[in-house]
Chains A and B, each alone.
Chain A
Amino acid sequence: MRRWTVAALLLAAFAAGCAGISPPTRFYSLAPTVAAEPVAERPLGLAVGPVLVAEYLRRPQIVTRLDETRLALADFDQWVEAFDIMLPRVLAENLAAALGTDRISLTPVPRDMRIDHQVEVDVVRFDATQGGDVVLDALWRVYGRDGERLLQQSRSLITRPLPPIGEDGLAYDAIVVAMSEATAELARTIAAAVRGARR
């Protein structure tokens, strides 16, 4: 009997400690927004990768920039998958749509796939400044002939404006939309370079 009393007391203390309930977390995903070109008769084989994402983005939380040196992690607004896994995939989907091909793969490519071009991307910065813009800063390279010859390399700095901050702080929906658009813009730039290299 005495033992039960002790157990009940301990349980009560434990339960009291656990009374707090976490608020729900909202999850987001980048969306491919490039309008799909019709698939060409002889679609080109494209390998996308490696896409290197800056280390500070390799986490589920959405990163926003408070000022030039200060960043914030959104504990309740998170990417549904790790950002450095999602970004290459969405970029590849955008590229496939922009180039009108269905023969596209992230590296490592399957052994039997014929590759015409390979695209490498280094994402240096991709975040939203509070109340400002979404900034995507990326270095990219296009290789030809099974990824052996460097055809073109360039750096793109893409900004997308954000709507002003509302009553309840940052509008993460708007940030995610703007980031999706920035990704699509980068895909269009790279696609143009690939087309140019083929001519």
Chain B
Amino acid sequence: MAVRRRRLPSAIWAIPIVAALIGAYLVWVDYSTRGPTITITFDDATGLVAGKTIVKYKDVEIGKVATVALSDGLSKINVTAAMRPEFAPFLTDGARFWLVSAEVSASGISGLETLLSGSYVGADPGPTDGRRQRVFSALPEPPLIRADVPGTEFILHADQLGGIGRGSIITFQGFTAGRILGAELSDDRRSTVFRAFVQSPYDELVTPTSRFWNASGFSVDVSATGVTVNIDSLPTVLAGGIGFDAGAGGSRAEAGARFRLFPNRQAAEDAAFTARVEMIAVFADSVRGLRPGAEVSLRGLRIGRVKDVGLVFDPAQRSFTVPVRLEVEPERFRMADDAAQRTPEQGMDRLRALVASGLRAQLQTASLITGELLVAFDFFPDAPVAALGDQDGVPVVPTVPTQLETLSASLTAILNKVAGLPLEGLVSDLRTTVQHVDALVASPEIKTSLAAVEGSAQAIRRLSDDLAAATPAVVAGLSQNLGQLEATLRSARAVLGTADGTLAPDSPLRTDLTRLLRELQSAARSIRVFAEYLERHPEALLRGKGVPTR
């Protein structure tokens, strides 16, 4: 009987199997603890070293650069990095990577530590619910705001860059509320578009009526009212800044909302008055000094501005008129009755009524120095009757002449009256009068008059004789006066003596002056000697006086 002998494998086989199992376990452990390897594409990889450069998030190492290689077209640099496994869930399509190296700019100094430690790759995690990604493109420069900073991004439009750029600060009532992330030309290349990041909680203050303005640098405003200098905080002066206000209130603005960036705060405030009513005022006077933007005032308060100034020739009348377009901002004044919503027609009716009761436009001088003009509305109940006109749907407000023009008109009237005087008749009348006088002089009455005059002369001579008799008394009075004069002279001399003492060579004043002069002389000499020495040895300022070499 053949023994069916089942050959068991030798126990020795257990050893390689266990070894294989252990090996597999080690491989598995190594594999499972190894994080994913990602590829980051850089434009410039200054300072990146394979096996040395680390990837950091919040200053904690989350990976290490494994290889640095040029891309196929040599235009990019592909960097592979072994990431730690705990960061793997964040390697989604929102993750960002960038190169950190030392940078000095107007808005600050950053990355100084890289001077000693070398550059590193900064990382910003993506959302965990994003799409998994293993190939990333590095940002050209470090992001200003980390992904986890709460806040809202808005879009600002401006006509010009105006000193604002990436990194410019956004302030709200002096608090730093955000940063400008970037600036670029708009699609039509006509304006500048800024991406503004306003961080929480300031982003709640941004409403659809908020106004943003450029608060960069400082502005000096010289006007008839004085000089105004506006300086914001130093960082905004250096790096540019943007201010904003909460506007008229309202709900919170949505992310990506578009705002206009006003060139300055004044412009932003003026823009608050959105409603504008256009009017025309036709002036017969010279409008020298009236320019677009000039004030339109009512009782001295600004209610609008001049939009433009035209010149129209009327062939029928053969005259020039100057129609001035005005923009009145009705929100600048309140209605006392504050009735319900006004329609444009109602407003027009009201304007018509005002004109009927004497409302007129008039050119007035805003500044006597610059000769600037403004358009003033006021009530002239005595003005000639006029009605509100209409030109292509724009109301035409009647005008009254300037004060100066009124004056010149009345002057002309006076001159006309003078011209109308019967001068020739007057002259002939005068001539007859002279002839009459002539006849009078020749008459005998005059001769008798002359005799009377002679009598008067004799009387005067008698009077002077009497006066001579009284002279001694007069002389006595005179000598008394002389005595007083002498006393006065004496005191004057005393005063002069005092002055002489003050200015004498050994007077304290002179001594002090001499000493002062001597001090000045010695100070000047010290400066001269110092300057001479410096001229010969400029390095002495840093190194001290050197030992003479012979």
Which A residues are closer than 8 A to B by beta carbons?
2, 5-6, 17-23, 25, 58-61, 75-76, 82, 108, 110-112, 169
Q: Mark out the residues of chain B between 518 and 544 whose CB falls within 8 Å of any chain A CB in the assembled complex.
A: 522, 525, 529, 532-533, 537, 540, 542-544
**Which of A20, A75, A76, A82 meets B525, CB within 8 Å?**
A82
Q: Does B159 contact A (CB under 8 A)?
A: no
**Number of residues from B at the complex interface, CB < 8 A:** 21
Q: Is B542 a contact partner of A17 (Cβ separation < 8 A)?
A: yes
Separation of A2 and B543 alpha carbons in the complex (Å): 30
Contacts of A22 in B (CB 8 A): 540, 544-546
Against A, the Cβ 8 Å flags (1 = close, 0 = not) of B105-126 are: 0000100110000000000000
Q: Which residue of B lies closest to A112 (CB)?
A: B506
Counting CB contacts under 8 A, is B250 at the interface?
no
Q: Using a CB-CB cutoff of 8 Å, which residues 448-480 of chain B contact chain A?
A: none
Known: A6-B112, A108-B505, A111-B504. A59 touches B542 (CB 8 A): no
The answer to whether B547 has its CB under 8 Å from any CB of chain A is yes
**Given A2-B109, A59-B529: A169 in contact with B550 (beta carbons within 8 A):** yes
Q: Is residue B548 contacting chain A, with contact meaning CB distance below 8 A?
A: yes
Give the CA-CA distance A23 to B544 in the complex, in Å.
8
The interface residues of chain A lying within 8 Å CB-to-CB of B533 are 75
Give the complex CA separation of A20 and B504 in angstroms.
53
The distance in angstroms between the C-alpha atoms of A56 and B290, with both chains bound, is 68
When the two chains form the complex, which single residue of A21, A60, A111 contacts B544, counting CB atoms closer than 8 Å?
A: A21
Closest residue on chain A to residue B533 by CB atoms: A75
Closest to B504 in A: A111
Task: List, in ascending order, chain B residues with CB within 8 A of A5's CB.
Answer: 112
Q: Are A2 and B112 in contact (CB under 8 A)?
A: yes
* Contacting residues, chain B, for A59 (C-beta < 8 A): 529, 532
Q: Which residues of B contact A18 (CB under 8 A)?
A: 542-543
Binary contact readout B33-76 vs A (1 if CB under 8 angstroms, 0 otherwise): 00000000000000000000000000000000000000000000
Rounded to whole angstroms, the CA-CA distance of A75 and B548 in the bound complex is 8
Chain B residue, CB-CB nearest to A24: B545
| 9 extra A-B contacts, CB within 8 A, seeds A59-B529, A75-B537 | A2-B109, A6-B109, A17-B543, A20-B546, A22-B540, A82-B522, A108-B505, A110-B506, A112-B506
What CA separation (Å) do A60 and B525 show in the bound complex? 9
Q: Are A23 and B545 in contact (CB under 8 A)?
A: yes
CA distance A81 to B49 in the complex (A): 67
19 example contacts (A-B, Cβ-Cβ < 8 A) are as follows A2-B112, A5-B112, A17-B542, A18-B543, A19-B543, A20-B542, A22-B540, A75-B545, A75-B548, A76-B545, A76-B547, A76-B548, A82-B525, A108-B505, A110-B505, A111-B505, A111-B506, A112-B506, A169-B550
- Shortest C-beta distance, A80 to chain B (Å), equals 13
Report chain B residues within 8 Å CB of A76. 545, 547-548
Residue of A nearest to B518 (CB): A85
Other-chain residue from B504, B525, B547 in contact with A23 (beta carbon distance below 8 A)? B547
Q: Which of the residues B113, B506, B548 comes within 8 Å of A2, measured between beta carbons?
A: B113
How far is the CB of B317 from the nearest CB of chain A, in Å?
Answer: 75
Chain B residues lying within 8 Å of A23, measured Cβ to Cβ, are: 545, 547
Rounded to whole Å, the gap between the CB of A21 and the closest CB of chain B is 6
A17 to B547 alpha-carbon distance, docked (Å): 17
B402 nearest CB across to chain A (Å): 63
Q: How far is the CB of B363 from chain A (nearest CB, A)?
A: 59
The answer to whether A60 touches B529, judged by C-beta atoms less than 8 angstroms apart, is yes
A contact face: mostly helix, strand, loop, or mixed:
loop
Cβ contacts under 8 Å, B522 to chain A: 82
Q: Give CA–CA (A5, B110) in the complex, Å.
A: 12
Docked complex Cα distance between A19 and B545 (Å):
12
- The CA of A42 and the CA of B334, in the complex, are separated in Å by 102
What residues of chain B lie closer than 8 Å to A108, measured between beta carbons? 505
From A19, A25, A75, residue with most partner B Cβ within 10 Å: A75
State the 4 A-B residue pairs at the shortest beta-carbon distance, nearest first.
Answer: A22-B544, A20-B543, A22-B545, A20-B544
Q: Which residues of B contact A60 (CB under 8 A)?
A: 529
Q: With CB as the reference atom, state the residue of chain B lying closest to A81.
A: B522
Which of chain B's residues have a CB closer than 8 A to the CB of A6?
109, 112
Report the Cα distance A75→B542, complex, angstroms. Answer: 17
How far is A161 from B74 in the complex, measured between Cα atoms in Å? 85
- Report the bound CA distance from A2 to B108 in whole Å: 11
Distance (Å) between the CB of B110 and the closest chain A CB? Answer: 9
Q: How far is the CA of A159 from the CA of B435 in the complex (A)?
A: 109
Q: Give B525 Cβ to nearest chain A Cβ, in Å.
A: 6
Cα A6 to Cα B104 with chains together (Å): 12
Nearest CB in chain A: distance from B538 CB, A: 14
Q: Which residues of B contact A111 (CB under 8 A)?
A: 504-506
User: What are the residues of chain A within 8 A of B113 when measuring CB–CB?
Assistant: 2
The interface residues of chain B lying within 8 Å CB-to-CB of A21 are 544
- Which of chain A's residues has its CB closest to B111's CB? A2
Q: How far is the CA of A101 from the CA of B458 in the complex (A)?
A: 86
A77 and B533 CA atoms in complex are apart in Å by: 14
Chain B residue with Cβ nearest A58:
B525
Q: Hey, which chain A residues are within 8 Å of B550, CB to CB?
A: 169
CB nearest to B547 among chain A residues: A23
Residue of B nearest to A85 (CB): B522
CA distance A59 to B522 in the complex (A): 11
In the docked arrangement, what's the CA distance between A40 and B505, Å?
Answer: 29
The answer for the CA separation of A5 and B112 in the assembled complex, in Å, is 9
List A contacts of B545 (CB < 8 A).
Answer: 22-23, 25, 75-76
How far, in angstroms, from A25 to B537 measured CA to CA in the complex?
A: 16
Residues of B within 8 A of A17 (CB): 542-543
Q: How far is the CB of B196 from chain A (nearest CB, A)?
A: 27
Q: What is the minimal beta-carbon distance from A89 to any residue of chain B, in angstroms?
A: 13
Q: Find the B residue at minimum CB distance from A59.
A: B529
CB distance from A199 to the nearest CB of B (A): 32
> How long is the Cα–Cα vector from A20 to B540 in the complex, in angstroms?
9
Q: Could you tell me the distance in whole angstroms from the C-beta of B145 to the nearest C-beta in chain A?
A: 19
Chain B residues 375-413 with CB under 8 Å of chain A are none
Residue of A nearest to B545 (CB): A22
A84 nearest CB across to chain B (Å): 9
When distances are taken between beta carbons in the complex, the residues of chain B under 8 Å from A25 are 545
Note all chain A residues with C-beta closer than 8 A to B529.
Answer: 59-61
